[in-house]
């Protein structure tokens, strides 16, 4: 038995799934993907860390990429922002294959997306306002007074206008994240990439960042790609979710599909395909299940052959 896909979002719900339980081509014509990853493989030192990655992301949606530590989430994000290239496959953004672009062509595309790094990555010697102004000074020819207005608008969006003149060392971790977000928004990007936006934040601050991300998506219509292993956050912000495991995408489905898998009664679990059992364990954070069974098994095998 396998979960069937709900019809809440027919365009998205039929995209990118790999098992026979759901079709892999859209049944209705819809918008073109804003990002299309096709058959991506990435190797480090001859070791495959991503393989056969197929993922379409549509305008205006929030796609959450989740998975255990080392499953390849950050690497996927780095490939999508063009900071490294895959050994195989194509990554189309706004219809262009970014893997074949020169650095200057890539820079033009980069102006259309914002990135929120894990730490916020602010410059400590600059005020919050100066940090947010930086992309506008580097990438536009706007007058300083127009830049000042833009900075105020972006700081107001993230609720930091009254802290504009503080330095990063004078604000909390959650405020740094918000300042990083204001900077990521400086050039009015069409796509926002986030790597672990809730990492290191207390639950309340983390929930506030989730609400801010939701509000921004609604108000500005941006497409968001969010890497996280915080399940509360994932279920709050996602339209669709992609589960990575050991460099492979197990499933791309709607948030509702993942909710149903998470909440499925335990007595029905044995009938699920193994991948779905594994995903369910991950979503619920259960101590027992295929993930831990696999770990125990491989530890035993290593022990057996290395002794
Ligand atoms: N620059 C690199 N050189 C060599 N190996 C790397 C490099 N970057 C990542 N890896 C390896 O690729 C695999 C995937 O790493 P990645 O950082 O994408 O995982 P992740 O899912 O983001 O994990 P985490 O949740 O811990 O951040 C890991 O085995 C990692 O050790
Ligand atoms: Mg990572």
CB atoms within 10 A of CB 297: 10
Confirm if 250 and 243 have CB atoms less than 8 A apart: yes
* Per-residue pLDDT of the chain in tens (307 residues, 90 and over written 9): 555 444 334 344 444 343 334 434 444 556 899 999 999 999 999 999 999 999 999 999 999 999 999 999 999 999 999 999 999 999 999 989 999 999 889 988 988 999 987 766 899 999 999 999 999 998 899 999 999 999 999 999 888 999 999 999 999 888 998 899 899 999 999 999 999 888 888 888 889 889 988 988 888 899 999 999 889 999 999 999 999 999 999 999 999 999 999 999 999 999 999 999 999 999 999 888 888 887 766 666 666 766 5
pLDDT value for 170:
95
Q: Is the CB of 67 under 6 A from ligand 1?
A: yes
Helices within 140-267 (DSSP H only): 144-157, 173-184, 203-220, 231-237, 255-263
- What's the CA-to-centroid distance between 49 and ligand 1, angstroms? 8
Q: Is the CB of 178 under 6 A from ligand 1?
A: no
Q: Is the CB of 221 under 6 A from ligand 1?
A: no
φ, ψ at 36 (rounded to 5°): -130, 110
pLDDT value for 276:
96
Question: What residue ranges define each of the domains in the chain, with the CATH number in brackets?
Answer: 58-78+102-298 (3.40.50.300)
Retrieve residue 66's tokens.
């989740």
Q: Is the CB of 71 under 6 A from ligand 1?
A: yes
pLDDT in tens, 99-122: 999 988 998 898 899 998 776 689
> What is the rounded average pLDDT for all residues in the chain?
86
**Element holding 293 (H helix, E strand):** helix 290-306
Q: Is the CB of 104 under 6 A from ligand 1?
A: no
CB atoms within 10 A of CB 201: 20
Residues with CB under 5 A from ligand 2 (ion): 74
Q: How buried is residue 40: exposed, middle or buried, by Cβ count under 10 Å (0-12/13-18/19+)?
A: buried
- Residue 251's Cβ-side half-sphere holds a number of Cα atoms within 13 Å equal to 28
Alpha-carbon torsion angle 40, 42, 47, 49, nearest 10: -80
- What's the CA-to-centroid distance between 53 and ligand 2, angstroms? 17
pLDDT in tens, 71-98: 999 999 999 999 999 999 999 999 899 9
Nearest ligand for residue 68 CA = 1
Question: Is the pTM above the cut of 0.75?
Answer: yes
Instruction: Give me the numbers of helices (H) and strands (E) for the chain, helices first please.
Output: 11, 10
pLDDT value for 137:
93
């Amino acid at each position: 038995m396998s979960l069937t896909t709900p019809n809440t979002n027919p365009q998205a719900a039929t995209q990118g799934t790999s098992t026979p339980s759901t079709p892999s081509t859209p049944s209705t014509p819809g918008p073109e993907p804003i990002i299309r990853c096709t058959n991506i493989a990435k190797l480090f030192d001859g070791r495959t860390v991503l393989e056969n990655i197929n993922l379409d992301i549509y305008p205006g949606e929030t796609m959450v990429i989740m998975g255990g530590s080392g499953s390849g989430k950050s690497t996927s994000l780095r490939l999508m922002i063009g900071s490294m290239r895959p050994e195989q496959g194509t990554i189309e953004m706004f219809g262009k294959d970014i893997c074949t672009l020169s650095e200057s062509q890539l820079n033009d595309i980069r102006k259309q997306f914002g990135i929120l790094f894990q730490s916020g990555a602010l410059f400590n010697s600059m005020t919050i306002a100066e940090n947010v102004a930086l992309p506008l000074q580097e990438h536009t020819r706007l007058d300083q007074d127009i830049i000042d207005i833009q900075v105020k608008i972006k700081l107001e969006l993230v609720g930091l206008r009254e802290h504009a003149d503080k330095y990063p060392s004078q604000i909390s971790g959650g405020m740094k994240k918000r300042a990083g977000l204001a900077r990521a928004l400086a050039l009015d990007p069409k796509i926002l990439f986030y790597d672990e936006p809730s990492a290191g934040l207390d639950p309340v601050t983390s929930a506030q960042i989730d609400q801010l991300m939701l509000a921004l998506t609604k108000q500005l219509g941006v497409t968001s790609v969010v890497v996280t292993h915080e399940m509360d956050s994932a279920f709050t912000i996602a339209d669709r979710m992609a589960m990575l495991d050991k460099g492979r995408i197990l499933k791309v489905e709607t948030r509702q599909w993942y909710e149903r898998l998470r909440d499925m009664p335990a007595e029905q679990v044995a009938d699920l395909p193994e991948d779905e059992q594994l995903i369910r364990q991950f979503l619920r954070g259960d101590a027992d299940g295929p993930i831990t069974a696999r770990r125990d098994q491989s530890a035993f095998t290593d022990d057996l052959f290395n002794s």
